Amino acid sequence: MSYEQMNPTIEKILANIEKVMIGKRNVAELSLVALLAGGHVLLEDVPGVGKTMMVRALAKSVNAGFRRIQFTPDLLPSDVTGVSIYNPKEMEFQFRPGPLMGNIILADEINRTSPKTQSALLEGMEEASITIDGVTHRLNKPFFVMATQNPIEYEGTYPLPEAQLDRFLLKMKMGYPDLDEEIEVLNRAQKMPPIEDLHPVIDLEGLLSLQEEIKEVFVDQTIKRYIVDIVNRTRTHGSVYLGASPRGSIALMKAAQAYSYMYGRDYVLPDDIQYLAPFVLSHRIILKSEAKFEGISAEEVVNRVVARVPVPVRRLVK
């Protein structure tokens, strides 16, 4: 697909992000897919490749409240969600919100904190609300979490359980820039950081409208069957111990709707499913130990599954 086909508003947002992010167009697109679909992103990569810059640029582009949580082993759930404190003057408890009460949240190095604190974030991601002392507090709309984890350092980390991994719409990597891109990074680093000069492209009300419009993107029954066939085959593949759940099917459909809308279409194509499947499904399957021993990755398995599922050819009719 060419960029000329892209929705004009989406193109403006991506162009805004590219003012500070060099050579990461695909990562910006996928991040925007998750945001528009109402999902969350797990970004697994080494430090220093621009993860924080990506999230800040996205937040500024949509004029959203940005919060960063640096996860550490001693971080408590209340440090994330907030806490109720007794006010002697008012003679009542008052809620002091934590960083989770923003719009776009960077959960940095999420695997460095305890499972108890991870679960506090999980409730917010899944329910769009948090519970403090028995009182439920609704989170802001939109609410988007981009969590990061370092795939190299495992000492002193708490791997995310399958139930929490399943809450992320997409999992992806940024990767290192190529030679020319890294030279451009140095050129820009000599000047004032351009992130401070970014201006919003749309406001939160406009973003919420986009999220509602995406729900109307047409998904033909043949496409739905195609999605379910792919997800079902992850459950029967010889290298897979545990396949993707129905939540994976829903996630793939929602991501495809957002991706189609970004490219100016009001219907989903099989190509959308094929492109997004590795990002949506790879973190939702558990490989058998012998597959891991052979060096087979979850992404490879998903790609093999997609290659074997027949592509629907019936003409799409609304």
SS3 3: helix
Q: What is the CATH number for 269?
A: 1.10.8.80
Do 175 and 241 belong to one domain? no
Do 98 and 125 belong to one domain? yes
CA dihedral in degrees (10, 16, 17, 18; nearest 10)?
110
Whole-number Å distance between alpha carbons of 191 and 215: 42
pLDDT at 2: 41
Do 105 and 180 belong to one domain? yes
Do 107 and 230 belong to one domain? no
Do 191 and 229 belong to one domain? no
Q: Tell me whether residue 315 is in a domain.
A: no
Residues of the chain with pLDDT under 70: 1-4, 153-156, 192-193, 314-318
Of 187, 208, 229, which closes a domain?
A: 208
Phi, psi of 74 (to 5 degrees): -95, 10
Tally of structural domains, the chain: 2
Do 278 and 173 belong to one domain? no
Chain length of the chain? 318
Of 208, 231, 255, which closes a domain?
A: 208
- Tally of CA atoms within 13 A in the half-sphere of 152 that contains its CB: 4
Q: What is the CATH number for 47?
A: 3.40.50.300
SS3 174: coil
Do 145 and 54 belong to one domain? yes
SS3 158: coil
pLDDT at 155: 61
pLDDT at 173: 87
Do 25 and 144 belong to one domain? yes
Nearest to 286 by CA among 245, 226, 250, 227: 245
- What residue has token string 């994330």? 80
pTM metric for this prediction: 0.88
Do 102 and 226 belong to one domain? no
Do 219 and 157 belong to one domain? no
Of 208, 240, 263, which closes a domain?
A: 208
Please give the residue range of the domain that contains residue 304: 215-308
- What residue has token string 């129905």? 246
Q: Tell me whether residue 314 is in a domain.
A: no
Query: Dihedral of CA 300/304/307/309: which sign?
Result: negative
